[in-house]
Amino acid sequence: MLDIFRSHVSSKNLIDPQCTYLLACSGGMDSMCLGNLLTQAGISFEVAHLNFQLRGSESIGDEEFVRSWAKDHGLTFHLKQADTESYALARGISIQMAAREIRYAFFEEIRAAQNLHGILLAHHEDDQLETIFLNLLRGTGIEGVYGMADRKGWLIRPLLPFSRTDIQSFMELNQLKWRDDSSNNKSDYKRNNLRINGLPAIYNLEKDARKNLLTSFQRLKDTGKAFSGLFETWKKTAIREESNFQFLAYESIQNQPGAATLLYFWLRLYGFNSDQTQVIASSLGQPKSGVVFKSATHLLHFDRMELILAPIVEDFKPILIRESDSGLSLPEGQFSITPQKWPAQLDKNPMHAQLDTARLEFPLQIRTWQEGDKFVPLGMTSSKKISDFLIDSKIPLAKKRDVKVLVSGKEIVWVIGLRIADWAKCTPATQRMLYIKKT
């Protein structure tokens, strides 16, 4: 096993012989196996043990066992005694979750303080199978079969290719000691129940069940990674981005095989769950403009021809512009405000406004448009409702709510980013203009 271990960590670049690591050691068979393999392989490491104080004298015995083993091997020993029950109660979480949070926080604290190259964990092949089955039971989809990575950030799992049987054989052959955790024999927890009852029953169904499962999970993992690449290619061609908005035309998704999965991979990054994406996918057959789905951070709008993803933004608070102001900041960007002589070069950019200063009543105000707002668009002689103007301008529903107007007195001067009011334009009689320009 030692030769296979050396070959594995070398080929996967998991452990650098020139660096020092932190071994997470409970005293159980798995972590003691890893510790002894590291010692025999000549790897430099320190030892961290966490006493969760959940099993009385057993916990004390584990602590003393690991401390003694580390001392016998001349290894630096780090210990934390945690009040796990109080931690869980204070945060309203389970004992298992509390233990997990405490464990990884402690290991990372030591790693960072000692400037160690990684945290070595003793998860093995059986743990991997249990994790995959639990993921599938939780409905995690194809990514659930990925299981635990052999390396993720500072966390390193060098024993994933080895089974529990391999580990026990190594320990017994080398007459090495370990501590048994009595709680592992209780089927109260899902993982224990699966290990004690579930997986043995599955293995009994087929002679090579374990081998076949590992092979199938690896193929599914490869398929998932291939799909991820295809998804990224599809996303680049199908999804258009403008500012903080994303647009997906119905025709780019409606007839795609696995449309719900494509939607999920896109929208999960913005807080949407699989149940929502299933409903969204089923709505694509007959999309209804105006329908909105909401996550904690984003809104997905069904518009006339496309889906529009938009971030949820706080309500815009009106801004006053005084005659002396030289600039302003809006969600759309920074704007300069400059008094100038007229005539000047005409600027037709809809994000810029050239206004006859003599017609303006200061302070001006910028606010979000409201139902009932009207103005006379440049080039027209009669007023038009802003709501109708936005429809005529083909502004998507998702963007309408963020449209802002510049107001002078009670009159709308400019629908920002679209058009100024005809009455506020500069004419041959204009002497001074106010030039508002996005910088």
pLDDT tens-digit series, residues 108-122: 999 999 999 999 999
**Which one-letter amino acid corresponds to residue 78?**
H
Can you give the residue range of the structural domain that contains 283? Answer: 214-311
Write out pLDDT tens, residues 333-364. 899 999 999 999 999 999 999 999 999 999 99
The beta-strand segments (E) located in 82-170 are 119-120, 151-152, 155-156
Q: How confident is the model at residue 409 (pLDDT cuts 50, 70, 90)?
A: very high
Determine if residue 243 is labeled as part of a ligand binding site: no
User: How far is the C-alpha of 343 from the C-alpha of 432, rounded, in Å?
Assistant: 8
Q: How far is CA 275 from CA 252, 280, 301, 409, in A?
A: 21, 9, 17, 49
Which of the 8 DSSP states describes residue 335?
E
CATH number at residue 387: 3.50.40.10
Query: Does one domain contain both 260 and 330?
Result: no
pLDDT per residue as tens digits for the range 4-17 = 999 999 999 999 99
Same domain? For 18 and 155 the reply is yes
Q: How many domains does the chain have?
A: 3
Q: List, for residues 94-106, the tens digit of each pLDDT value.
A: 999 999 999 999 9
Give the per-residue pLDDT at 255: 85
pLDDT of residue 331: 85
The whole-number average pLDDT for the span 205-215 is 92
Of 180, 205, 230, which residue sits at a domain end? 205
Is 29 labelled a binding residue?
yes
Do 227 and 186 lie in one domain? The reply is: no
pLDDT band at 21 (very low <50, low <70, confident <90, very high): very high
Q: How confident is the model at residue 211 (pLDDT cuts 50, 70, 90)?
A: very high
Co-location of 132 and 152 in the same domain: yes
CA pair distance 264, 278, nearest whole angstrom: 8
Contacts of 285 (CB under 8 A, 6+ apart): 254
Output the pLDDT for position 11: 95
Answer yes or no: do 411 and 434 share one domain. yes
Based on the fold, state whether residues 130 and 271 are members of the same structural domain: no
Q: Which of the 8 DSSP states describes residue 187?
A: -
Helix (H, G, I), strand (E, B) or coil at 403: coil
| pLDDT of res. 289 | 83
Q: Is the pLDDT of residue 375 over 90?
A: yes
Where does a domain end: 289, 311, 333? 311
- Which tokens go with 34? 């890893």
| Structural Rg of the chain based on CA atoms | 32
Q: Is 303 in the same domain as 340?
A: no
SS3 (DSSP) at 331: coil
Determine what percent of the chain is predicted with pLDDT higher than 70: 100
On the question of pLDDT at 87 being above 90, the answer is yes
Strand pairing partners for 405?
367, 415
User: Which domain-ending residue is among 246, 280, 311?
Assistant: 311
Q: Where are the beta strands (DSSP E) in 268-322?
A: 292-294, 298-302, 306-311, 319-321
Q: Which of 74, 64, 80 is nearest to 38 (CA)?
A: 74
pLDDT-derived band at 312, boundaries 50, 70, 90: confident
Q: Which residues pair with 338 in a beta bridge?
A: 435
Check which CATH number belongs to the domain holding 296 and give it.
Answer: 3.30.465
Residue 185 has pLDDT above 80, yes or no: no
Statement to judge: residues 198 and 272 lie in one domain: no
Give the Cα separation of 214 and 43 in Å (integer): 29
Computed over every residue of the chain, the mean pLDDT equals 93
Instruction: Specify the pLDDT at position 332.
Output: 85
Are residues 110 and 156 both part of a single domain?
A: yes
The response to whether 27 counts as a known ligand-binding position is yes
**CATH number of the domain enclosing 57:** 3.40.50.620
Same domain membership, residue 80 and residue 201 = yes
> How many of the other CB atoms lie within 10 Å of CB of 176?
14
Same structural domain, 188 and 268 = no
Q: What is the pLDDT of residue 165?
A: 95
Q: Is the pLDDT of residue 367 over 90?
A: yes
Per the annotation, does 31 bind a ligand?
A: yes
252 in a known ligand binding site: no
Rounded CA-CA distance 183/185 in Å is: 5
422 pLDDT more than 90: yes
- pLDDT tens digits, one per residue of 133-170: 999 988 888 888 899 999 999 999 999 999 999 999 99
Looking at the fold, whether 191 and 330 belong to one and the same domain comes out as no
For 45-61, the pLDDT digits (tens) are 999 999 999 989 999 99
The pLDDT assigned to 200 comes to 92
pLDDT > 90 fraction of the chain, expressed in percent and rounded: 83
**Sign, CA torsion 174/178/180/184:** negative
Q: Which pLDDT does position 140 carry in this prediction?
A: 80
